Amino acid sequence: MAFPTSLPSPTHTPLRGGPTVRWGILAPGGIAGSWATTVTANTDQPIVAVASRSLQRAEAFAAEHGIARAYGAYEQLVADPEVDAVYIAAPHSEHLPLGLLAIAAGKHVLIEKPIALNSGQARELVDAARAAGVFAMEAMWSRFLPQTTIAAQLLDDGVLGDIKTVAADFGARFDYDPDGRWFNPLLGGGALLDIGVYPAWFAHFALGAPARVTARGSFAPTGVDAQSALTLQYESDALASVTMSMWATSAQGAAINGTDARLEIPGQFFVPGTLRLISAEGETLEWTDPSGVTGSGGLAYQAVAVAAHIADGLTESPLHSLADTLAVMLVLDEARVQLDSQ
């Protein structure tokens, strides 16, 4: 296929002017704060309620983000008839019970990634949402970024030729705290679940489900996986290299390499940024996000996408489906089994 003369335009859901849903937030921690900040600043989506096990904490969060109602119990928020959709931002260990709570109350759910601790829990959430007929999605926000929509079009158009290798890396240095969520096994700590889900998702985005997973890694003193390298092999003979670390910060880039061209997302591949398409002969096309939305501000794109999906009567996203979530969780499950047995 001839190398294109220009890159396609992004097809992300516009941040403003589209459908809205009334959001409630369960668990007002750090990621919830980032999400609320960008949703309020960059979209028309109303956040109408927040709940914590501590009313004081919920009230402080509500005051900071201009949210009308604060609850000291999760059950109170999901019973609120003014809430259409619930964003669940608790530690991984709480995703299953809080997800089931919201689904049972008939609320649409956006559940932070990873959607659960393992594929069994993920399947339980998927089955519950489907039985209830509510929208459910794992909050894999990177899939909804403008640059990712360009990458998806290039993959669909076959511009890269046959994909042979994929590489995605996420290393971030965390200060060791045995009680913090990154290193505490009771909170679902470990690199695989916390940051490994990003490069594992990227490999799935490019190549789908692998035929074979090989994993090696090392552990923190608490017993959670601290860093690992995964090799994913596919029926097409393609290979993906997925790496993650909580000990050292890496370049955090990603690339999809084909017989005709390669696609690079330099820097942090999971936030708004730059995309490059480079032909086998070295011709280069580059796109950089012009919106001014940077870093965790990119969380806004998934919020407007969810609202649009719900308005369209969908119960899952065609861009990051529940089947996609389950497939990535199976890769992480297999990696964890191999790490535990090495």
Vertex 140, ends 137 and 141: CA angle to 5°? 110
Q: Which amino acid is at 332?
A: L
Active site residue 113: yes
User: How far, in whole angstroms, is CA 86 from its chain's centroid?
Assistant: 16
- Count, in order, helices (H) and strands (E) of the chain: 10, 14
* Structure tokens given for 2: 């001839």
- C-alpha to C-alpha distance for 56 and 60, rounded to whole angstroms: 6
Closest CA to 203 of 248, 245, 170: 170
Question: Comparing C-alpha atoms, which of 250, 254, 228, 241 is closest to residue 173?
Answer: 250
Of 88, 97, 81, which Cα lies nearest the Cα of 51?
88
Distance CA 199, CA 267 (A): 13
Candidates 69, 95, 113, 336; catalytic one: 113
**Which residues are known catalytic residues?**
113
